Amino acid sequence: MKQLYDVLIIGGGVIGSAIAREMSRYRLKIGVLEKNLDVCCETSGRNSGVVHGGFAYNTDSLKAKLCVEGNKIMGQLSEELDFAFQRCGKVLVGNTPEDQESLERTMKQGKANGVSGMELIGKERLHELVPAVIGEFAMYSAESGIVDPFGYTIALAENAAENGVDYFFDNEVTAIERDADSNYVITTSAGTFYSRWVVNSAGLGCGKISELLGIGGYKIIGSKGDYIILDKRTGPLLPMPVYPVPSNTYMGIHVTNTTDGNVIVGPNADLTDNFTYYGVSQENMDYLSSSASDLWPCIHKKDYIRNYSGILPKWVDENGAIQDFKIEVQDLKAPRAINLIGIESPGLTAAVPIARYAVGLMAEREKLTLNSSFNPIRKGVVRFAELSKEEQNLKILENPEYGEVICRCETVTKAEILQAIHNPLGVDTMTGIKYRTRSMMGRCQGGYCQMRIAQLLEQELGKKEDQIQYARKGSQMFFGKVRQEVES
């Protein structure tokens, strides 16, 4: 029997997952269609992890309004959903009179946008805040912060799932039609789904899904940024993100501390129409390092542990000018379809306000009934490494699996790996475990633990060696056994 959903959400990134969670506050049957094998495989997981203040966006834009709201509620969200967030502040560092003017303009815009906690500070105060920085003065934004983008997206998705939302991974949408009852019929790479409402939160795929919905004309370009991750030993040298003075369209290459104590360097911003290429060139790595060293001279190759890149979907007009977020329902072209276009930075900060805005568009069109059993609280995998010795001891006495360290660099125990393997979304990839526990993210990059985790994944989920996928579909890790075991 075919299942008719009230809402199907296309795209399980931070926006799709926030919408899923916010909609699960109401009595609705909700599903999420995600083409990848986990949430946050694209833009949501591939960024700086900065919680923006909201001063960098034009006053009256959705970007400004929703970012400011998102910043305000991030602390409460992180408590409800158990993800890492630190309101550590950030500085925009300047050296010239032009920089000074630009920062004053930014402050003014920030005030108009409703941002609090901004001040212009001199060299002395700047060096008190970030001793290692190079610069004459700065704008300090006390309300800015950092978030674990994986933890945040996973938390939203798991909370949605715990409140009854169905997640369908490995389902790439290929066609959208409407049947005789005017319900949406969505064809994916894995099957057919039916729904009264559709949400396009497809991120990099938003232009394509919008066209499938019958709303053409949105031009989406990718802005690709590369990053270098530095060893945790560098973390104490960077208590908050350090940015250059921003231009209108681009934040500039910055250095950012992470909630786990690493430092990330980047991004550049290269326009691209290839939304699946995440390679990083030598030229860009060299450029990132030399450019960011002008702000923070602590970048040394011996501390490199990994590089990565991400692509922001930018909606541009015919002249290439970057547009605001678009969150709309076009009742004539595609009734009961919430269309989100160009959700780029500050989408991570603004995700929940964006979701509430989207729910608002739905509530204007039909009456929503509160789901009285909605539970906003979600608990993630316990972080053994963050407990005191006494707490660690108690955990082990409760469950000896906490007494077995699998990932040495990040001190992740077998108990945590097992919790991640049996995650509420049913994700069964290696990166699924990585993003939920921090295993394989340390300086040896899985040299010690990856094989143990692969073995646990095989044992716990009854998989064969050649069924273990690293991250994406097709990212097979093994080609079977070396030698077949002979039964005696």
Residues of 155-167 as b/e, b for ≥16 C-beta within 10 angstroms?
bbbbbbbbbebbb
The helix or strand, by DSSP H or E, that contains position 338, with its residue range, turns out to be strand 337-341
Residue 170 binds other proteins (CB under 8 A): no
Q: How far is the CB of 409 from other proteins (least distance, A)?
A: 8
- Binding residues among 41-80 for other proteins as defined by CB under 8 A: none
Total chain residues near other proteins (CB under 8 A)? 61
The helix or strand, by DSSP H or E, that contains position 228, with its residue range, turns out to be strand 219-230
**Alpha-carbon distance 197 to 8, whole Å?**
6
* 449 contact partners, CB below 8 Å, separation of at least 6: 406, 407, 408, 412, 439, 440
Q: How far is the CB of 254 from other proteins (least distance, A)?
A: 19
Q: How far is the CB of 413 from other proteins (least distance, A)?
A: 7
- Binding residues among 225-244 for other proteins as defined by CB under 8 A: 228-229, 233
Residue 454 binds other proteins (CB under 8 A): yes
Neighbours of 205 (CB within 10 A): 20
CA dihedral 171→174→180→184, nearest 10 degrees, is 50
Q: How far is the CB of 267 from other proteins (least distance, A)?
A: 15
Q: How far is the CB of 252 from other proteins (least distance, A)?
A: 22
Q: Which of 52, 254, 300, 422 is catalytic?
A: 52
Q: Which is nearer to other proteins, 328 or 465 (CB)?
A: 465
Among 122, 131, 279, 426, binds other proteins (CB under 8 A): 279
Q: Which is nearer to other proteins, 120 or 396 (CB)?
A: 396
Residue 37 binds other proteins (CB under 8 A): no
Residue 307 binds other proteins (CB under 8 A): yes
* 374 contact partners, CB below 8 Å, separation of at least 6: 24, 25, 163
Residue 300 a catalytic site member: no
Residue 107 binds other proteins (CB under 8 A): no
Among 132, 185, 237, 444, binds other proteins (CB under 8 A): 444
* 12 contact partners, CB below 8 Å, separation of at least 6: 20, 32, 33, 34, 36, 39, 157, 167, 169
**Alpha-carbon distance 383 to 390, whole Å?**
14
The answer to whether residues 224 and 239 touch, using CB atoms and an 8 Å cutoff, is: no
**How long is the chain?**
488
Instruction: Give SS3 for 99.
Output: helix
Convert residues 461-480 into a mask of x (bound to other proteins by CB under 8 A) and - (unbound).
----x----xxxxxxxxxxx
Q: How far is the CB of 430 from other proteins (least distance, A)?
A: 8
Among 179, 217, 276, 486, binds other proteins (CB under 8 A): 276
The stretch among 157-165, 170-178, 188-196, 303-311 that binds other proteins (CB under 8 A) is: 303-311
Between the two ends of the chain, the Cα-to-Cα distance in Å is 48
Residue 389 binds other proteins (CB under 8 A): yes
Q: Which is nearer to other proteins, 2 or 483 (CB)?
A: 483
Structure tokens given for 100 = 């000074």
Q: What are the residue numbers of the active site?
A: 52
Site residues (vs other proteins, CB under 8 A): 228-229, 233, 276-282, 285, 301-302, 304-308, 389-390, 392-394, 396-397, 400-405, 408-409, 411, 413, 443-448, 450-451, 454-455, 465, 470-483, 485
